[in-house]
Amino acid sequence: MARRLLTLLAALLLALSLGQPSAQAASFGNPVKAQKGADPWIVHHDGNYYLISTSWTDVITVRKSPTLGGLATAPSVQVWQGDAASRCCNIWAPELHHLNGRWYLYYVAGQNVADYNPTQRSHVLESAGSDPMGPYTYRGQLNSSWMLDPTVATINGQLYLFGSTHNGTQNIVAARMSNPYTVSSSFTTVSTPTYDWERQGGTVNEGPEILQRDGRTFLIYSASGCWTPDYKLGQLALTGSNPASASSWTKKATPVFQRSDGNGVYGPGHNGFFTSPDGKESWIVYHANDSASEGCDNGRTARAQKFTWNSDGSPNLGTPVRLGAGLAGPSGEPSTVSTTYTLTNRNSGKCLEVAGGSSADGANVRQYACNGGANQRWRPEDLGDDTHRLVNVASGKALDTENCSSADGADLRQWSWLDNTCQRFRFLATDGGHVRIVNQATGKVADVADCSTADGADVRQWSWLNNGCQQWRLNPA
């Protein structure tokens, strides 16, 4: 009888647990990216969020985190660098799209000239496999003249490219594509700035983004000058059969997302959309300023919030929330946010650590069997120039190249922060989710001496040899 009662009790407890909601998602506060946060784009794939945004330089970086809140402190990993003079610089508005089993990275880039804006063109990269971190190869230029903010979407079985061009006013255009890197028709204009709220500081329609739900298609776009606090979002609804024809779209007469003086949010725009990990919630990511006097520059930060849907099936984007306000994260994500990382060597499987947990300047950095110790955990702090300082959790000191030497074999150690380039590092994606850790001053990489697999083997800098001893995996810890 006792065994029977225990069995019934266990069954009851199991039934009750199955009826309970999943663990609460980790809370977060905006911004989700404070450095180089303009024109943000987020996708959720295979248990992680991937965030990408305008760099203003010749590189494209991606942040990866299992939680939305974790993106704020995730390392920015470089997945691409301008590879030709015609597309070297001033990279804007990158987006990641998964098509036909590969990732395609659409972006804008121009020449390194004083007046670079007229040279901006749209381009696309293709991943070698199914990892959003690449590696990527260049597939081509998408247009022959000035065009910003490329995005793609499949509508009624046909792939389309949307972008923004100008002919006195800045307009939204569309064209058919035969594959993710080939435009197969001429571009046609689908929206021009006609309402007064689209013409504040400039006659602008840009940043087109397609939003689809329950068989309906919407195009959300940015309107007015991005250098004004009145930059905002407008909406087109697809009411016809041809997405490349203006007559198939119906424009909403009022904006759908705009400044909130009460919440201290100005110029919200150039957005993206993503869904929660469990597919139950709709989210918007966008950039905005903290002051009405701020403009269209690198000071804009990336923010995210949940939105709902109106009874007529259209999106209700709501009001931009105050910076720093506590928000529940997307449903279905983990309940904790990691802000520190371990760095595991690809060849040895061992972790980068400060020897003995020392707090002294000059203490050696080496590899050792991973044990979860604070001396094996690091905070990658973004310095706003595509580099990071790597701060050891145990000591609070930064990874440093000894005496700023440029020689192969120069020791890596810890030192108090001096804010020099010998203490700044870039993460460059390799493959299989690994990175090389590149010193900003020397261009050389963190290397396990002699490819040793032993505990205590020294970690030094060396010229890039493309071997596993020079590659590391960043793991939230």
DSSP string, 260-295: BGGGTBEEEEEEEEEE-TTS--EEEEEEEESSTT--
Beta bridge partners of 326: 29
| CA-based nearest residue to 106, from 130, 80, 144 | 80
Q: Based on the residue annotation, tell me whether 95 is a catalytic residue of this protein.
A: no
Residue 195 CB contacts under 8 Å (≥ 6 apart), including other chains: 223, 234, 251, 253
Q: Based on the residue annotation, tell me whether 431 is a catalytic residue of this protein.
A: no
Q: Are 419 and 398 in contact (CB under 8 A)?
A: no
Distance CA 341, CA 32 (A): 18
Distance CA 20, CA 23 (A): 9
Q: Are 79 and 136 in contact (CB under 8 A)?
A: yes
Q: Which residue is associated with the tokens 């403009």?
A: 295
User: Taking the CB of residue 418, how many other CB atoms lie within 10 A of it?
Assistant: 12
Distance CA 123, CA 106 (A): 6
Distance CA 292, CA 231 (A): 11
Q: Hey, what amino acid is at 466? A: N
Distance CA 409, CA 373 (A): 27
Residue 443 CB contacts under 8 Å (≥ 6 apart), including other chains: none
Structural element, H or E, at residue 16: helix 2-19
| CA-based nearest residue to 26, from 73, 72, 67, 75 | 67
DSSP string, 169-193: SEEEEEEEEEETTEE-S--EEEE--
3-class secondary-structure state, position 63: strand
Which of these is catalytic: 126, 198, 206, 382? 206
Helices then strands, counting H and E runs in the chain, come out as 1, 35
Task: Report the residue count for the chain.
Answer: 477
Alpha-carbon distance values, 169 to 165, 201, 245, 398 (Å): 8, 12, 18, 49
**Residues noted as catalytic:** 39, 206
